[in-house]
């Protein structure tokens, strides 16, 4: 059984928590749990209720979209990455599958628990969103570059 | 082989000793001067390669700077000259002018971490720098090679990347934009690999080569991680004719890419890249 102190320390080591003040960390630790996924195991499935998000401590996760010809891998995440922001949208529904491609250890956060705390304390809500937004912006930006097919045939890019 | 300025306009005949098909549209040629002798160059320099009767194009040298017996070029067939080059066979002759241009600052990077960021065929101009770094491995901190390709089938120099990755003193990470069934590695843009780090930004020299858009975002990601813009180097491509700073064909702002480049610091390049249509 992982103690709160241990969880707090583990969260602290993750880039998501860098510079986080003690009050905020104490609040979010109360919604956190340690989880592990074996290679091949799904962490979340498209269409499912987005009631969590995850900080990847170690391992590798493939984000996939199911298609008639099989799963299409659109991105991989690994140590230090954050997985899942659909819990912030309405309705909170996962838009991808996420599958561990090797043994993966994560800290998961109960979105209902966190949402309740964010509603009760808008300053906390703001702080959490402030940490999510740059990551979301970075991912959208990366997805756009990926779509450009930079290395494909055609005129010089 | 050393040329003076007048000689530098006259292509020297080289014999094609070997041709290797790397990818569906990319090939590597090994050349030797028909008149014999050695060919010395520095990592990052290029030659003007003349396909007789078709035309001349700048192509970076992709071989080992420590090996002067053979000249190696890796070319992607995209248009008239490079396609005609791809049709040439062992035993045929190609004209060579060079080596030209400013090299990668491999020796200046001694004492720091060296991060190589390549995209697509951009790994070819960086391979000589990797060879040089490996030959001087004890003079660097971390040696990190980050490579992005379109799909797993488009990974250039795959066997060498695998060999480098097998060493304990080089970190090699490869990512593809589009995963196929057989691919179990990273998926996503090469800038994601930069963001994940694995080097000390304060003491890092980074060499970046690939499509211009990729270089722009990779350099930005490096700077965002804390690498100084003066320690990030990119290799620019502009159309060239003379290759030696006479004709002005490759002018890029105040620079002639053939003579002042192709390797520029990000500090020099970024203000110019911000100017549209330059
Ligand atoms: C310093 C320098 C080093 C270079 N090193 C290499 C190298 O090591 N290997 C290599 O394969 N190429 C390299 N290039 C690019 C190479 O010179 C061009 O691909 C070549 O000049 C194209 O000539 P072409 O007659 O075959 O095609 P063109 O008829 O000139 O062009 C045909 C089509 O190809 C597109 N095109 C032109 N250049 C490129 C390019 N670089 N990438 C993608 N599409 C392009 C054009 O937009 C056009 O649509 C280098 C360029 C420079 C300036
Ligand atoms: S190609 Fe003539 S000046 Fe550069």
Q: How many residues does chain B have?
A: 278
Average pLDDT, whole number, for chain A? Answer: 89
* Full residue range of the structural domain in which residue A74 is found: 4-151
Residue A93 belongs to a domain: yes
Residue A35 belongs to domain with CATH number: 2.60.120.10
Q: What is the pLDDT confidence band of residue A9, given thresholds at 50, 70 and 90?
A: confident
Residue A156 belongs to a domain: no
Residue A115 belongs to a domain: yes
Mind spelling out the 3-state secondary structure of A75-111?
EEEECCCEECCHHHCCCCECCCEEEECCCEEEEEEEH
Q: Which residues in chain B have their CB less than 8 angstroms from residue A148's CB?
A: 213
What is the average per-residue pLDDT within A55-68? 92
* 3 state DSSP class of B255: strand
Residue whose tokens read 């000249």: B71
Residue A50 belongs to a domain: yes
Residue whose tokens read 């951009």: B122
Other Cβ atoms within 10 Å of A140 Cβ, number: 9
Q: What is the pLDDT confidence band of residue B212, given thresholds at 50, 70 and 90?
A: very high
Tokens of A83: 């997985």
Identify the DSSP state of B157: T
**pLDDT > 80? residue A61:** yes
Q: How many domains does chain A have?
A: 1
CB contact under 8 A, A142 and B188: yes
CB contact under 8 A, B188 and A146: yes
Hey, where are the domains in chain B? 5-100, 107-273
Residue A157 belongs to a domain: no
- Output the DSSP codes for A15-80: GGGTT--HHHHHHHHTTEEEEEE-TT-EEE-TTSB--EEEEEEESEEEEEEEETTEEEEEEEEETT
CA–CA distance, B109 with B137 (Å, rounded to integer)? 12
Chosen CATH of B5-100 out of 1.10.287.70, 1.20.120.420, 2.40.30.10, 2.60.120.480 = 2.40.30.10
Question: Distance, CA B255 to ligand 2 centroid (Å)?
Answer: 10
Span B27-53, pLDDT tens digits: 999 999 999 999 999 999 999 999 999
Q: What pLDDT, on the 0 to 100 scale, is given for residue A3?
A: 66
CB contact under 8 A, B191 and A142: yes
**pLDDT > 70? residue B216:** yes
Q: What percent of chain B has pLDDT over 90?
A: 87
Residues from A in contact with B at Cβ < 8 Å: 62, 70, 72-76, 78-80, 101, 138, 142, 145-146, 148-153, 156-157
Q: What pLDDT, on the 0 to 100 scale, is given for residue A20?
A: 82
Q: What is the pLDDT confidence band of residue B273, given thresholds at 50, 70 and 90?
A: confident
The architecture that CATH gives domain B107-273 is 3-Layer(aba) Sandwich (3.40)
**ipTM at complex level:** 0.85
pTM of the model: 0.92
Mean pLDDT lowest for which of A140-154, B55-69, B201-215, B230-244? A140-154
What is the average per-residue pLDDT within B168-191? 90
* 3 state DSSP class of B46: strand
Q: What pLDDT, on the 0 to 100 scale, is given for residue B6?
A: 58
């Amino acid at each position: 059984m992982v103690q709160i102190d241990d969880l707090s320390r583990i969260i602290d080591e993750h880039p998501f928590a860098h510079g986080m003040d003690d009050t905020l960390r104490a609040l979010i630790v109360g919604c956190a749990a340690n989880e592990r996924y074996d290679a091949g195991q799904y962490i979340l499935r498209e269409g499912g209720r987005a009631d969590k998000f995850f900080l990847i401590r170690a391992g590798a996760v493939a984000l996939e979209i199911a298609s008639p010809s099989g799963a299409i891998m659109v991105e991989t995440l690994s140590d230090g990455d954050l997985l899942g922001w659909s819990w912030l949208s309405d309705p909170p529904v996962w838009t991808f599958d996420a599958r561990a491609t090797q043994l993966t250890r994560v800290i998961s956060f109960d979105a209902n628990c966190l949402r309740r705390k964010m509603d009760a304390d808008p300053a906390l809500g703001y702080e959490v969103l402030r940490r999510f937004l740059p990551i979301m912006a970075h991912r959208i930006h990366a997805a756009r570059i990926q779509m450009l097919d930079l290395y494909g045939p055609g005129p010089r890019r | 082989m050393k040329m003076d300025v007048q000689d530098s306009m006259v292509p020297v005949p080289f014999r094609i000793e070997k041709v290797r098909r790397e990818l569906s549209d990319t090939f590597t040629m090994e050349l030797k001067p028909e008149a014999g002798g050695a060919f010395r160059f520095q990592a990052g320099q290029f030659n003007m390669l003349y396909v007789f009767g078709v035309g001349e194009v700048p192509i970076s040298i992709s071989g080992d700077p420590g090996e002067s017996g053979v000249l190696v070029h890796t070319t992607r067939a995209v248009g008239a000259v490079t396609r005609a080059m791809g049709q040439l066979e062992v035993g045929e002759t190609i004209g060579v002018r060079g080596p030209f241009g400013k090299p990668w600052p491999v020796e200046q990077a001694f004492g720091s971490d060296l991060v190589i960021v390549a995209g697509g065929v951009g790994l070819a101009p960086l391979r000589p720098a990797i060879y040089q770094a490996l030959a001087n491995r004890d003079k660097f901190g971390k040696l990190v090679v980050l490579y992005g390709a379109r799909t797993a089938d488009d990974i250039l120099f795959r066997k060498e990347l695998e060999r480098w990755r097998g060493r304990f003193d080089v970190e090699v990470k490869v990512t593809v934009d589009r995963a196929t069934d057989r691919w179990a590695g990273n998926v996503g843009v090469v800038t994601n690999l930069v963001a994940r780090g694995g080097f000390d930004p304060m003491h890092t020299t980074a060499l970046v080569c690939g499509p211009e858009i990729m270089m722009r975002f990779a350099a930005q990601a490096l700077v965002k991680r804390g690498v100084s813009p003066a320690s990030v180097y990119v290799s620019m491509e502009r159309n060239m004719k003379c290759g030696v700073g006479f004709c002005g064909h490759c002018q890029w702002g105040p620079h002639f890419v053939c003579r002042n480049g192709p390797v520029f610091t990000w500090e020099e390049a970024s203000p110019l890249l911000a100017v549209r249509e330059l």
